[in-house]
Amino acid sequence: MSFQLIDLSTQKDTSPTANLFAETVLQGLSKKEKQLPSWLIFDDPGSRIFSDITKLKSYHPAVSEKNILSTNKELISQIVSSPDLQLIELGAGDGRKTMVLIEHFLTNNHPLHYIPIDISAGPIKKLVSDLKSRFKKSSLIVSGVIGDYFDGLEQFTRDKNKTNFVLYLGLTLGNQELAKANSFLRRVSNTLNSGDYMMTGFDLFTSPKQHYRAYNDPEGLFEKFNLHLLDRINRELGADFKIEHFTQEGHYNWRTRSVESYLYSLKDQTVWIEALQKKFFFKQGEGLQTEQSYKFTLAEIEQLAENNGFEIVKHLYDEKKYFVDSIWRKKN
Ligand SMILES: C[S@@+](CC[C@H](N)C(=O)[O-])C[C@H]1O[C@@H](n2cnc3c(N)ncnc32)[C@H](O)[C@@H]1O
Q: Any residues with Cβ below 6 Å from ligand 1, and which?
A: 39, 42, 47, 50, 54, 91-93, 117-120, 148-149, 169-172
Report the C-alpha gap between 247 and 185 in whole angstroms: 34
Alpha-carbon distance 306 to 135, whole Å? 38
- pLDDT(15) > 80: no
Judged against a pLDDT cut of 70, whether residue 124 lies above it is answered with: yes
How many A from CA of 90 to the centre of ligand 1? 7
Query: Whose alpha carbon is nearest atom 6 of ligand 1?
Result: 92
All domains of the chain in start order, with CATH: 33-55+220-294 (no CATH), 59-207+295-330 (3.40.50.150)
Average pLDDT over residues 131-143: 94
Q: How far apart are CA 315 and CA 107, in angstroms?
A: 25
Closest CA to 107 of 68, 145, 134, 130: 134
- Report CA(270)–ligand 1 centroid distance (Å): 31
Q: What residue's CA is closest to ligand 1, atom 17? A: 119
Distance from C-alpha of 197 to C-alpha of 157, rounded to nearest angstrom: 12
Smallest Cα–Cα separation from 144: which of 91, 180, 193?
A: 91
| Distance from residue 172's CA to the centre of ligand 1 (Å) | 6
**Is 39:171 a contact under the CB 8 Å cutoff?**
no
Q: Whose CA is nearest to atom 11 of ligand 1?
A: 91
Position 18 pLDDT exceeds 70: no
C-alpha 92 – ligand 1 centre gap (Å): 6
260, pLDDT greater than 70: yes
Q: 210: CA distance to ligand 1 center in Å? A: 23
Q: How confident is the model at residue 11 (pLDDT cuts 50, 70, 90)?
A: low
Rounded distance between C-alpha atoms, residue 21 and residue 250, angstroms: 23
Over the stretch 76-123, which tens digit does the pLDDT of each residue have? Answer: 999 999 999 999 999 999 999 999 999 999 999 999 999 999 999 999
Residue 1: the pLDDT is 77
Residues 25-47 as b or e (16 or more Cβ within 10 Å = b): beebbeeeebbbbbbbbbbebbb
| Nearest ligand 1 atom to alpha carbon 16 | 19
The pLDDT confidence band at residue 9, using thresholds 50, 70 and 90, is: confident
Looking at ligand 1, which residue's alpha carbon is closest to its atom 12?
91
Please give the distance, rounded to the nearest whole angstrom, from the Cα atom of residue 202 to the centre of ligand 1: 14
Residue nearest to atom 7 of ligand 1 (CA): 170
Q: Looking at the predicted structure, is the pLDDT value of residue 17 above 60?
A: no
Q: How far is CA 269 from the centre of its chain?
A: 32
Which residue has its alpha carbon closest to ligand 1 atom 20?
148
Query: Which atom of ligand 1 is found nearest the CA of 167?
Result: 6
Burial bucket for residue 264 (CB in 10 Å: 0-12, 13-18, 19+): middle
Choosing from 7, 38, 48, 50 the residue with most ligand 1 atoms within 8 A of its CB, the one to mutate for a pocket test is 50
Asked whether the predicted pLDDT for residue 12 surpasses 70, the reply is: no
For the segment 117-135, the average pLDDT, to the nearest whole number, is 96
Q: How far is the CA of 120 from the centre of ligand 1 (A)?
A: 8
Closest ligand 1 atom to residue 93 Cα is 27
SS3 63: helix
Is 14 a residue whose pLDDT tops 50? no
